[in-house]
Amino acid sequence: MKKIFSMLRSFSDSSGKAKFCITCGNKATQEALFNVGDGVMVIEKYCDTCAEKEVK
C-alpha cells in the first residue's frame, strides 16, 4: 500500500486521553493525512519533530 501525503494539521485532543506519535511515542501534536487510493484516507498522529521528517 502506497501512502501519498495530502496535508498536515494541528491536533488537539478534546477527549482527555493523550494520543502518541506513531514514530517516537511522544505526545502527538500534529495529524498527517495520507491518500492510499480508492478514496481512502489514513490519519496518522505525530509529534512536531517527527511530523517535519514525515512530510519531507
Cell numbers representing residue 48 in the block: 512536531
CA distance 24 to 36: 23
pLDDT tens profile 11-24: 887 777 889 999 99
pTM: 0.81
* Region at 51 (left for phi over 0; alpha for psi -120 to 50; beta for the rest): alpha
At residue 23, the pLDDT reads 95
> How far, in Å, CA of 38 to CA of 19, rounded?
27
DSSP string, 7-46: EEEE---SSS---B-TTT-SBP-EEEEEEEETTEEEEEEE
pLDDT class for 53, splitting at 50, 70, 90? confident
Residue ranges of domains in the chain: 4-55
